[in-house]
Structure 1
Amino acid sequence: MRKPVVLVSTDIKPLDGFEWHAVISAYVEAVAYGSEAIPLTLPALGPAIDLDSVLDRVDGVLLTGARSNVHPSLYGGEANEANGPYDMRRDSTTLPLIRRAIERRFPIFAICRGLQEVNVALGGSLIPEVHELEGRRDHRAPDATDQDARFALAHHVEISPGGRLSKVLGDARIEVNSLHRQAVGRLAAGLSVEATAEDGTVEAASVDAVPGFAFATQWHPEYWVGSDAASRRLFAAFGDALRAHMRMRDSVSEAAE
């Protein structure tokens, strides 16, 4: 059996006098080893991408985290220098991709910025600097250059009892890392909360319209997929969903021949 292919979002990064369509290695490695699938990066080319042509060739979508924030104009907010940086070419690629992937019922795994993109794509809003709200913890990354320290498990989240994510992780209280400034504000219609932090911050959601694996997490399971049980289960379940979707599409194609 062939391995499923996962479309992975990219960022625009300036480097060596060029602009790169880039993704951190942890994401593609988590797909390759944690989900046993083939990662295929999608350049942030916005409307130049024929989404259906791309989706016809893959079996699922992974939306990565990033240093950039979703542009506030996309959810009725106002941009300012303190809330940046922004990557509007990524926004113009991922938001339409999310909507089309949901319409076509693809397996989706959205991480950190990915959760925020899914919420905005479906009509929700974001809190630009969640740590500035009274009663909220500081969810930003530790001030450290060592990546293990930056991605260290930082706080607990409560998995919603009886929710879809509980079928993957159990009705559990798990420990997660935390590297974000933005957070879900108004939850979009079509999303269900699957986990929350102790301060009420939405930490995971599912897409109602996609019956299989369609989850978004505010934390970064890709970083610890090799050693953390919850991270490993998430990527393994994503892999199972990819293979199920691939078999369904293959059977439809065979029946049509």
Structure 2
Amino acid sequence: MSNPSKPLIAVTSDVRTFENYTWHAAPEQYLIAAVEGAAVTPLMVPCFGDALDLDNILEAVDGVLVTGSKSNVHPSLYGVEPTQAHEPFDPARDATSLPLIRRAIDRGVPLLAICRGIQELNVALGGTLATEIQDLADRLDHRAPQSDSQAERFAIRHPVRIKPGSCLASIMEADSVQVNSVHRQAIDKPAPRLKIEAMAEDGTIEAVSVGDAKGFAVGVQWHPEYWVRTDSPSRKIFAAFGDAVRAHKIARGLLAAAE
């Protein structure tokens, strides 16, 4: 029997074409992590941009999960001329996710942004991205290893240093954790409102938070959703997000009761 008090969260989607249909979809691992790791009910938001009433959506949910994706934020949105190296793109997702992120932060709705999500968070607030970071001087290769096995591609393989006293430090209760790495873009110039929470040994920004947010607003460059069942740091991120979502739901209920 379902729990009527379990919070709802909005989950971003991608636009894909398959068998002559256009699909608005999200990878299952994020949905499983939401259900099992955060103990919330995920609802996918289709990529219809301005046609959506984002405030109405955010009034109905108590959290937002911004997923990773193979596509990249279009560079024109952060002032860079697009090249083949920036592809592939998903303009319908850009037109939906970026304003959704901004509205969620403005309204104090808890937000967890992963991989493409942290990049969207940065661009939504005025930051820029670097592409093909493995080609930059003194950078590690953060791309997934070539393999047909998802477990190998998402294997946990390098440490990130967590800033003392940060939001992530309080979640992890550690100054370093091991993470996976499945990306070729990363934050270049951080948005003014973002606080750096963690970095890789090569200086790649691996986690951020929104300094002036009214509630939980965290982005990570790695993929905690993949190992939420077996990896303690991955579980802790989703548990913290779930706790923030439930706190937001309770606070909204108390406010409504007082009115």
Q: TM-score range by the shorter chain?
A: over 0.9
The percent identity for this pair of structures is 51
Mapped partners of 1:127, 1:239: distance in 2: 31
**Contact in 1 for aligned 2:29/2:225 (Cα 8 Å):** yes
> Residue type matched to 2:123 in 1?
V
Contact 1:162 1:171 in 2 (8 A): no
Whether 1:83 aligns to 2:76 is no
Residue identity opposite 1:19 in structure 2: T
Indicate the SS of the match to 2:160. Answer: strand
Equivalent residue number for residue 242 of structure 1: 245
The corresponding residue for 1:52 is 55
Does structure 1 residue 199 correspond to structure 2 residue 186?
no
Q: Partners of 2:213 and 2:8 in 1: how far apart?
A: 18
Q: CA deviation at 1:82?
A: 2.7
Matched, 1:146 2:153: no
Please, what TM-score do these two structures have when normalized by structure 2?
Answer: 0.97
Unaligned ranges ≥5, structure 2: none
**How much has 1:172 moved relative to structure 2?**
2.1
Matches within 5 A, 1:25-104: 25-104=28-107
SS of the equivalent of 1:234 reads helix
Aligned equivalents of 1:66, 1:82: Cα separation in 2 = 16
Counterpart of 2:248 in structure 1: which amino acid?
A: H
After superposition, what is the alpha-carbon deviation per residue over 1:214-233, rounded to whole angstroms, capped at 9, x for unaligned?
A: 11000000000000000001
Which residue pairs with 1:174 in the alignment? 177
Alpha-carbon shift at residue 211 of structure 1 (Å): 4.1
| Partner Cα separation in structure 1 for residue 77 and residue 234 of structure 2 | 30
Is the Cα–Cα contact under 8 Å of residues 107 and 238 in structure 1 kept in the other structure? yes
Instruction: For residues 99-125 of structure 1, give each alpha carbon's deviation from its aligned partner in whole angstroms, at most 9, with x where no partner exists.
Output: 111100110000000000000000000
* Structure 1 Cα separation of the partners of residues 150 and 91 of structure 2: 26
**C-alpha offsets along residues 9-37 of structure 1, whole Å, 9 cap, x if unaligned?**
00001111111001000001100010110
**CA deviation profile, 1:44-63 (whole Å, cap 9, x unmatched):** 11111111010010000000
Equivalent residue letter for 1:29 = I
Large movers: runs of 4+ above 2 Å? none
Report the equivalent of 2:223: 220
Is the contact made by 1:107 and 1:210 (CA closer than 8 Å) also made in structure 2? no
Amino acid at match of 1:125: T
Whole-angstrom distance in 1 between the partners of 2:82 and 2:148: 28
Tell me the secondary structure at the aligned position of residue 35 of structure 2. Answer: helix
CA distance in 2, matches of 1:129, 1:72: 13
Cα distance in 1 for partners of 2:212, 2:101 equals 12
Unaligned ranges ≥5, structure 1: none
Number of residue-to-residue matches in the alignment: 256
Report the 3-state secondary structure (helix = DSSP H, G, I; strand = E; otherwise coil) of the residue aligned with 2:230: coil
Q: Does the alignment pair 1:17 with 2:20?
A: yes
**More divergent stretch after superposition (113-122 vs 206-215):** 206-215
Over residues 149-168 of structure 1, what are the superposed CA-to-partner deviations in whole Å (9 max), with x where a residue is unaligned? 01001211001111111000
Aligned partners of 1:186, 1:248: CA distance in 2, in Å?
34
d(CA) in 2 for partners of 1:240 and 1:175? Answer: 23
Maintained 8 Å contact 1:7/1:61:
yes
- 1:155 and 2:158 are equivalent in the alignment: yes
The answer to whether the 8 Å contact 2:38/2:240 transfers is yes
